Amino acid sequence: MDEPTCAYIAGFLDGDGCILVQLKPRQGYRYGYQIKATVSFYQKRQGRHLLEWLQRQIGVGRIRDRKDGVSQYDIEGVAHVLHLLRAISPYLVAKRQQAQKVIKLLEAMQQNPKPSPEEFLRWAGLVESCQALNYSKKRRHTVEEVARFLSNKGVSHPRND
């Protein structure tokens, strides 16, 4: 993407978008949780064509029409979200701090696909610090919940020093 397009997408994200990282319980995952990364853009259904333009520029993701009259464009996955945030973060204003934290987390995840339990727990803490920058009503899954899961499975003995 060229510089003006990156700047436009950053402005769109600052105004009508969301950067989200979540802890999702997943059976079969080594530590019982997935760290899910998503960038979402929102428009009233009449503005869906703007989301379609964004999708053509970014090249990944899906658009859905919600029951509340809003269309939502989601880009999911560590590699896709990281690529997008790296491209547009220099142009972000309102969400710059959050983007930088998410980039740091996703880079660590890419560099270490098989983290130790302690490292995964540290990542879960980074997820919470990123979530604190969103206007979320409640957090479903917390670092304490992940620590309890790991301890109950005998996978980790988190240190408190």
Other CB atoms within a 10 A radius of the CB of residue 85 amount to 23
d(CA 23, CA 124): 7
The two structure tokens encoding residue 36? 């899910």
- 77: left (phi > 0), else alpha (psi -120 to 50), else beta? left
Answer whether 48's CB lies under 8 Å from 161's CB: no
In this structure, the strands spanning 17-25 and 70-76 are unpaired
The active-site residue, picked from 15, 47, 59, 65, is 15
Q: Has 161 been annotated as catalytic?
A: no
Q: Strand, coil or helix: what is 20?
A: strand
d(CA 99, CA 14): 11
Contacts of 145 (CB under 8 A, 6+ apart): 23
The active-site residue, picked from 11, 16, 77, 125, is 16
Taking alpha carbons only, the member of 142, 139, 17 closest to residue 85 is: 17
Q: Has 59 been annotated as catalytic?
A: no
Catalytic residues: 15-16
